[in-house]
Chains A and B, each alone.
Chain A
Amino acid sequence: MAQTDVIPVPPLTTTEPRPMTRLRRHAPRGKLTTRSQIALQALCLLIAFTVLFPIVWIFSLALDPRDLARPDGLIPPGASLDAFARVIAQPTSDEISLIELARNSFVLATFVAGFSVFVGVLAAYAFSRLKFRGRELLMIVILGVLMLPAVATIAPLFIMLNGLSNVQLPLIGEIEIRRSLIGVGLAIVSGALPFAIWNLKGYLDTIPKELEEAAAVDGCTQNQTFFKIVLPLATPALAVTAFLGFVAGWTDFYFVSIFLNSPDEGFTLSLALNKMVGSFGQTKWSDFAAFAILFAAPVSLVFFFFQKYIVGGLAVGGVKG
């Protein structure tokens, strides 16, 4: 698993003189000549510039009070948070505030994360630890579903969930499933669940079996072993998988845009963003930039601070986009 922060410390100086110096045409390991250090630093800075360019530009745009199409300077003169205030109040022409949009996105994301991890870890445990007929076949089925893009089942899910109108649910009352966040959430889970199973199975495989065998010797049943030994040990993977499920729900676009018709059915941040992009003529640039920042910030910050746990999982499985 790739870890970004573990950098092997090279021996900085080799004290003993090396034999056969004639063969070494360049500086000893761990040292660079000043010239190549400068050249490589220049290259790194160039890459850093390309990475940072869109990000800095958007930040600068969001702070600019004059709604210029382009920022002139890192922090524009008279920088203000007006654009943020505007988009928090009402980002698009729909009568819905960013708080409500974010709440809908949050509800959706939490549902996807919780549901897929809870159901996923049970299946992952069975695949990782138990021997039974058809295990390999079922795993291939899961992998096959994982390869399918989310769009591949969009038509039948739309038709099926559309048929579930006037459903009575406890606490909520009568709803049309398709035009609700419940329908959207179920549709997103169809992609998030196979990923959760696959990702968690990969992690459970790395937990040594001896612990469970010891627990079994001490008289633990299979269920007790699962809940008391395996689940606590798998907490990091559960958190990462839940986070990736959360991101899938937080940024889902296909299902919300196809399923939901009006803002009161639970419009999310992604729909507002789509609307802002669709009307670039009328949208203020600074508003778009501010909205993009507020939309990305919650997941990007979590990602940034926990990247060493998350990136590994991403590189192995990834979420459907």
Chain B
Amino acid sequence: MTAPAMSLPQPRRRRLTPDARTAVLYLLPAFLVMGVITFYPLLFQTWMSFTDFGLKNLNPRNPAPNLVGLDNYIQIIQSKLNIPNFEFLRLLFFNLWWAFSNVVIHVILGVGIALLLNTNGLRFRRFYRALFILPVIIPPLIVATVWRYLFDDSNGAINTVLQGIGVLFKIPPETFKIDWLGQVNDPIPFIPLPLAYFALLTANSWLGWPLNAVVATGALQSVPPDLYEAAEMDGANAWQRFKVVTLPFLRPAMVPYAIYGFVITFNLFFLSFFMSGGGPFGRTELFVTQAYKLVNDFQLYGVAAAFSVILFFLLLGITLITNRLARATASYAE
């Protein structure tokens, strides 16, 4: 609507470049969808976290929930929620330790087995590589229920096998009625971790190392063989060759993958939910399983919203810290 005769300088309109116009067109569907099912819910959740949204508020005819300020957050952090076995700090430390201990085991097993399968001259390598991918291809939901059965106290496979071995050594089978997932007493004195944690750790190690081995194998195959020969010529022993030649090639692939694995394991729902159910006494509960139970079992929607907001900032913090660590180790490598 600009009159061409006007002598006033045109207000500088930001004209979209052709690229930007196409970009809007291509991004619109995704951002419309995400706006409705991701961004709006996140905002709505933030509002919910300041209210006492509960079961009664599901009916739109009931009055709106009351604003309660930071009450939900304070209750969560002070562990004063009206639900059994909830202790915020214990949950936080257990969840961090759970993710850390798993990733360490995954990376060590993954790199070790990748090195083993990368040995020149090892026979049936293709066969082993095909076989070792099996844990990855089974949906984790099903893996979790299967391990729940394997660790069953009365009929599970683990106890059955232990009984079978025990007979050989004349140990009565009753010894192996181990309540893997429910035993209240800690198996190792001075280490405040229940037996269920070790059962979960076993199951997750089975589940987690193969993908690490795949990533490590990819990195190992990028190492030029000449480098090993050169190192050998210089008289480097096996450990020195690993440290000087292999490790610098492994690090750029494994560090980001370990960080990614840390976040995935931190949020790993199925094992805790299906195997131990968070027990005994909520001691193997994770943030995600707790969040699920706040919604599904306790219908404390306002509290659940605050809980998710806390989880959001926790994950943000973890991402920032791990990114910094990754950069620190990268510059160390160079």
- Nearest opposing residue in chain A for B154, CB measure: A69
Residue B217, interface by CB 8 Å: yes
Instruction: Indicate whether A4 sits within 8 Å of B147 (C-beta atoms), given known contacts A151-B288, A292-B142.
Output: no
Task: Map CB proximity to B onto A2-24 as digits: 1 under 8 Å, 0 otherwise.
Answer: 11111110100000000010011
Instruction: Indicate whether A155 sits within 8 Å of B301 (C-beta atoms), given known contacts A57-B157, A130-B22, A254-B269.
Output: yes
How far is A288 from B147 in the complex, measured between Cα atoms in Å?
12
How far is A280 from B295 in the complex, measured between Cα atoms in Å?
25
Instruction: Indicate whether A296 sits within 8 Å of B138 (C-beta atoms), given known contacts A57-B150, A132-B20, A145-B38.
Output: yes
Whether B157 and A54, one on each chain, are in contact in the complex, defined by CB atoms closer than 8 angstroms, is: yes
Interface size, B (range): 35 or more
Residues of chain B from 123 to 178 with CB closer than 8 A to chain A in the complex: 123-126, 128-142, 145-150, 152, 154-157, 160
Give the interface segment out of B2-10, B82-90, B190-198, B304-312.
B304-312
> Contacting B150 at CB < 8 Å: which of A8, A54, A145, A189?
A54
Instruction: Indicate whether A321 sits within 8 Å of B268 (C-beta atoms), given known contacts A145-B34, A155-B308.
Output: yes
Number of A-B residue pairs having CB atoms within 8 Å of each other in the complex: 283
Instruction: Indicate whether A190 sits within 8 Å of B37 (C-beta atoms), given known contacts A152-B291, A254-B269.
Output: yes
How far is A50 from B23 in the complex, measured between Cα atoms in Å?
50
Whether B120 and A163, one on each chain, are in contact in the complex, defined by CB atoms closer than 8 angstroms, is: no
Q: Is the interface of A mostly helix, strand, loop or mixed?
A: helix
Residue B58, interface by CB 8 Å: yes
Residue A138, interface by CB 8 Å: yes
Whether A51 and B123, one on each chain, are in contact in the complex, defined by CB atoms closer than 8 angstroms, is: no
In the complex, chain B residues whose CB is within 8 Å of the CB of A158: 295, 301
How far is A253 from B144 in the complex, measured between Cα atoms in Å?
12
Residues of chain B from 280 to 307 with CB closer than 8 A to chain A in the complex: 288, 291-292, 294-296, 301, 304-305
Chain B residues in contact with chain A, CB under 8 A? 17-20, 22-24, 26-27, 29-31, 33-34, 37-38, 40-42, 44-45, 48, 53, 57-58, 60, 113, 116-117, 119-126, 128-142, 145-150, 152, 154-157, 160, 206, 210-211, 214-215, 217-219, 221, 225, 228-229, 232-233, 235, 257, 260, 263-264, 267-270, 274, 288, 291-292, 294-296, 301, 304-305, 308, 311-312, 315-316, 319
Q: A23-B233, A153-B38 are in contact. List 8 more A-B contacts (CB 8 A).
A: A29-B120, A32-B122, A48-B132, A122-B30, A155-B45, A254-B269, A274-B274, A304-B133
